[in-house]
Amino acid sequence: RRSIKEKARLRLREFDVGDKFSRLPLPKASVLLPLMVREGKLHLLLTVRSMQLRRSPGEVCFPGGKSEAIDKDEIDTALREAKEEVGLQPEKVEVICRLVPGIDKMNHLVTPVVGFIEDTFQAIPNPDEVSNVFVMPLEYFVKPLNYKTLPYKTSSGYLSWMHCFIYDDHEHKMSFRIWGLTAHFAVFLALVIFGKRPTFEVDYDLDNLISSSEKNFMNLYASLYERKKSNL
């Protein structure tokens, strides 16, 4: 157990971006990527958004949300949201790092915060926000059983594709579909920790994962910025 966690910690710390992207002039949001060790393997906790929510009801995501004035930084936002959504106490999270952010469809700068939680954690979903909580092996995001790509148009108008995973959860006897930014973060997390080639195509240079992930992000940000300028 020790060594799995230790190895993951060391790998993740190499990829910590700290507040490198915090100054970009976009509205901020954060998500918590909660890792745990179960049966000798790394697992990831995910939530399903409540059907009552206006935005993306019923979709799988990580605990998280928009930054508020009381939050010191992205880590604070992620921990506060995880407490509100699934009852995870901030002191029960061993925060490891912040990874390269993404940009969601509302053009928020979304920072993924990675932390370890105990495998004994019992989620208490807030029904207004979360309809379900489940845990799946992190390795699924490099060696999936059920995977496809979906084409989509970025907010800046260029055509791209996104990962889409279907995961059959035997504990809940349900299938979950993980795609979009959630899948993007989960894949990157798995690439960082396992350091091996996935069974599907990714748009990173896997030999230079740090620089290529930052370059991809800055290209996305630049294309958004160009579009904002052209709309003025």
* Count of residues making up the chain: 232
Q: What is the dihedral of CA 34, 61, 154, 218, to 10 degrees?
A: -10
pLDDT of residue 215: 95
pLDDT of residue 229: 63
> Looking at the 3D structure of the chain, how many domains does it have?
1
pLDDT of residue 86: 97
β 28-38/109-116 pair status: parallel
Q: For residue 99, what is the DSSP state? A: P
Q: Which structural domain, as residue segments, surrounds residue 104?
A: 4-231
Q: Look up the CATH number of the domain holding residue 162.
A: 3.90.79.10
pLDDT of residue 48: 95
pLDDT of residue 2: 66
| Residues in Cβ contact with 99 at an 8 Å cutoff, skipping those fewer than 6 apart | 12, 15, 16, 17, 33, 111, 112, 114, 185, 188, 189, 192
pLDDT of residue 52: 81
pLDDT of residue 100: 98
Chunked in runs of 10, what are the mean pLDDT values of the chain (232 residues)? 88 97 95 96 95 79 96 97 97 98 93 97 94 96 96 74 94 93 97 96 94 94 75 58
What is the rounded CA–CA span in Å between residue 93 and residue 160? Answer: 35
- Which residue type, as a one-letter code, is found at position 9? R
What is the rounded CA–CA span in Å between residue 45 and residue 64? Answer: 12
What is the rounded CA–CA span in Å between residue 103 and residue 67? Answer: 14
